Structure 1
C-alpha cells in the first residue's frame, strides 16, 4: 500500500563482467523464498483470516473486530517492510511482480466490501475506491510501453488515508472517534478521486508523447533506409522503447502506490 513493493526492486544485484556475457548470477532472479516474498505471502494468507475475524458472530462483536483490526494492521505493516527489504537487497521474482499488488488490493478490497456488507460503510464509497484502484492499475499497463507513471506524494497520502480510515472503521468505535473516522474516510475518498484524475491526465499525456516519439523514430528509420515504415511502429528495435519486459512490470508495481 505504501512504500515500494517486493516487485519494485532491481535484479539479483550481480554485476556483469565488462566486455563479456552476462553471468548466470546476473541473469537469474532472486530466490522465490526470499523474505520480501514471504511477507507478501503472509498478506495473502491474512486476507481470508481477516474476513473470518471481521464477520465472526455476525460482524458486530467488538472483541473479534479488534482481532480483525490486528490482522489488517499486520498486513499494512508487512507491506512497508517488504518494500524496504526489496529496495535494500534487490529481491525480485516474477511471483513478487504479480502477487504484491494483488495482496495490496485484496486486503483493502476485502475490508471495504465487508464493511459495506455490515452496513458500516456506504456501498458507493467502496465502489469509488475499488473503481479507482483497479482502473489506475489497468491504465498503468495501458501506457507501460511508453513510460511508467511515477508514484506521487498525493498517491502516498491517499494510501495512508485509506489505510487509517478503514482501520478505524474495522474497530467498533463510538462517540467522538466514530465521528472522526467519518471525516478521515471523507479525506480518503477526496484524495482517491483527485489522485485518480491526475493519474488519468498523466497517462494520456505520456501515451501521446510515446506515440509521437515512435512516429518520429519510424520516419527517421524510413528516411535512412528508403523503406516505407508505417507510422506508429514501435521504435523498440532501435532502442527507443522506454519501458518493456521485466523492467516495465517492476515499474508498474513500484508506481502502484
Structure 2
C-alpha cells in the first residue's frame, strides 16, 4: 500500500472565470465599439479615426496581457485557448472589412486574410475533441504584424506624411505573406498530428 508521500497531489484546474478570460471577453466587447467609432460620419473624420485607433490599440494590448497573465498565474484553460484566437479573428476581421468598405484597403487583402483565419478556426473546431491547437510562434508574429499594419491604416494617414502610407503598405504585404505561410503550417501540423494520433 503506498504511503501518503507516494500519492500525487490533486492539482486544481484553473477556473474559466479568471482575469485572463475576462480580458479576452473585453476584447470581444470592444469590437462593436471600435466599428462604431470607425464609421462615424463618412468614416474619414480625423478625430474619430484616431479614436477608433485608440480602441483598436487597447483591444490588441489586452491580447498580450491575457496570455501573459494566464501563463504566469496558472490561469490557462481550454476555454481560454479556444476563445482567445476567436476574439483576435473577430477584431482583425472587423477592422479589415471596415477598412475595405471605406475604400482604404483592397478587398483582396481582406479576403485572403479572412479566408486563412476562418479556415484555421474551422480546423481548430474540427480537432477540438483531440485537443486545442495552441497558437504557434509564427502565428503570434503574424497577429502582431497584422495588428500594427491595420493600426496604421486605421489612423488618418491622409493627413500624415506619405512615408506612413508606404510603411503601412509594406507591413500589410508582410502580414499577408505571414498569414498564408502560417496557414499552411497549421494545416501541416494538423495532418501530422492526425497521423501520429493512436487509433481509438
Task: Please say if residues 143 and 206 of structure 1, whose CA atoms lie closer than 8 Å, have aligned partners that are also in contact.
Answer: no
Name the counterpart of 2:15. 30
Normalising by structure 1, report the TM-score.
0.67
**Alignment match of 1:185 (pick from 172, 184, 194):** 172
Task: Please say if residues 146 and 207 of structure 1, whose CA atoms lie closer than 8 Å, have aligned partners that are also in contact.
Answer: no
Does residue 142 of the first structure (1) align with residue 126 of the second (2)? yes
**Alignment match of 1:85 (pick from 60, 69, 80):** 69
Name the counterpart of 1:154. 138
Q: Which ranges of structure 2 fall in alignment gaps of 5 or more residues?
A: none
Q: Distance in 1 between matches of 2:83 and 2:136?
A: 22
Q: Distance in 1 between matches of 2:130 and 2:173?
A: 34
Superposition deviation, residue 197 in structure 1:
1.4
1:75–1:182: structure 2 CA closer, same or farther, 3 Å change rule?
same
Does residue 105 of the first structure (1) align with residue 122 of the second (2)? no
Greater CA radius of gyration, 1 or 2? 1
Higher helix fraction (1 or 2): 2
Name the counterpart of 1:69. 53
**Alignment match of 2:7 (pick from 8, 14, 19):** 19
Q: Which ranges of structure 1 fall in alignment gaps of 5 or more residues?
A: 1-16, 215-233, 235-257
Does residue 205 of the first structure (1) align with residue 189 of the second (2)? no
Name the counterpart of 2:163. 176
1:206–1:92: structure 2 CA closer, same or farther, 3 Å change rule?
closer
Does residue 49 of the first structure (1) align with residue 36 of the second (2)? no
SS at 2:116 equivalent: helix
SS at 2:40 equivalent: helix
Superposition deviation, residue 62 in structure 1:
1.1
Normalising by structure 2, report the TM-score.
0.85
